[in-house]
Amino acid sequence: MSWINSVTSSAGDFFQRDVVPQLEKVRDGFVDGATSAAKQAAPVVEKAWDKASPVLGAAWDKASPVVHAAWDKASPVLETALEKGAPIAEAAWDKVSPPLYAARDGVRDGAVAAWNHVPGHDQAEKTVADWTDKLPFNNVAKASIEALFGAEHVTLDKDATDGIQKDPGFLDAEKKINVDVTAAAKADPRYGKTDFDISLSDMYKGQGLYAESDGKVPLTLGGESGESDKWDQAKHFYDLSDPNVKKTWQVAGNEQTWLLRHCQLDGTAHVAKDGTITIDYKVNDRLDLTPHGKVDDAYDVVSKGMGSVWHGLMGAEMPEVTGSFTRTVPQG
């Protein structure tokens, strides 16, 4: 087996030394070209959309009463059919799904086990991950693939945590944390005499804050969606002249929305004798597509169907997603 490992190692070195740099050049050229083209096209597209959206809006406003009237007539019939058919379909699915799920899990687990025995698979995974870092939504894709292949825990890489540190939701939370940690450090009798640590969750629990998350700071990443009724926004999704619809589209196009929309932030502040404070942060969430249990909530309606397919039919796990990074508290 030593010659196999030697050949594999040589092939890996060749791939890393000669192939990867060329692939990275192609990737960077593609990304830069696409970015430049998008910047040039954006004003033209926006002008065209500004002209078209009122026409589409007017057409929809005329058509929507007819559509709603038709739906009002059809929905009772559909609901009755679903009520009668659902128990039959569920009973049939309950009979056939166990062997299908078992076969699916067997194929998945077997493929994962086989891949994990391939020499150099770790380096191959790292190379692919590094190569895709500049592609849109690459971190969501990587986390989703890991969930699909049965991972119970996903650790975010530097590319992903860099995105978190640029998010307004984190930056707003950080401002308060910096003030609170600095005050707690200066109130500690050890301040200026020796190095010591402050747990963020213990600090906030001591202040009676964030009790529902055991002292961890709740974060909403990805931006704030439009404040108007979500169903109304969904019916007028095309109308980017509506600031609420536009804000919601911006949230939908933000990778953090899909990766760590509602997460928790914890960490440890390291206070040096000279007063310098650095904080090792850790974000935590669970990657799942299950409803929140809210009545008439648009997310719940969508995720109920998507979650059934993603977690049920496709068997994706609900892995814990964590990311770590360090920040320095500004002095002043």
pLDDT in tens, 80-138: 877 787 678 777 767 777 777 677 677 777 776 777 777 776 776 666 666 666 677 88
pLDDT at 83: 75
With respect to residue 143, please indicate whether it lies within any of the assigned structural domains.
no
Same domain? 121 vs 199: no
Residues 248 and 298 both lie in one domain = yes
Does residue 86 share a domain with residue 26?
Answer: yes
144: in domain = no
Vertex 266 angle, CA 260 and 267, to 5°: 130
The gap from C-alpha 26 to its chain's centroid, in whole angstroms, comes to 27
Number of domains in the chain: 2
Q: Which of 120, 135, 150 represents a domain boundary (last residue)?
A: 135
* 145 within a domain of the structure (yes/no): no
Indicate the SS3 state at residue 163.
Answer: helix
Same domain for 131 and 166, yes or no, is: no
In a domain, 189, yes or no: yes
| Residues 278, 269 contacting (CB under 8 angstroms) | yes
186 in the same domain as 113:
no
Residue ending a domain, among 135, 150, 173, is 135
Q: Is residue 30 part of a domain?
A: yes
The dihedral sign for the CA sequence 207, 211, 216, 219: negative
Mean pLDDT score of the chain:
79
Cβ atoms 20, 127 nearer than 8 A: yes
The string of pLDDT tens digits covering residues 140-193 is 888 888 888 888 999 998 988 999 999 999 999 999 999 999 999 999 999 999
pTM, 2 dp: 0.66
Q: What CA–CA distance (Å, rounded) separates 326 from 165?
A: 10
- Give the domain extent around 35: 2-135
Q: Quick count: other Cβ atoms within 10 Å of Cβ 169?
A: 21
53 band by pLDDT with thresholds 50, 70 and 90: confident
Shared domain for 91 and 176, answered yes or no, is no
142's tokens: 């990587």
Stated as kind and residue range, the H or E segment containing 326 is strand 320-328
For residues 188 and 128, membership in a common domain is answered with no
d(CA 97, CA 92): 8
Please indicate, yes or no, whether residues 288 and 164 belong to a single structural domain of this protein. yes
Decide if 167 contacts 256 (C-beta within 8 A).
Answer: yes
> If we measure between CA atoms, which residue out of 289, 318, 286 comes closest to residue 303?
289
Say if 120 falls within a structural domain: yes
Confirm if 241 and 53 have CB atoms less than 8 A apart. Answer: yes
My answer on whether 208 and 286 are in the same domain is yes
Percent of the chain with pLDDT over 70: 76
**Which of 138, 150, 180, 148 has its CA nearest to residue 265?**
180
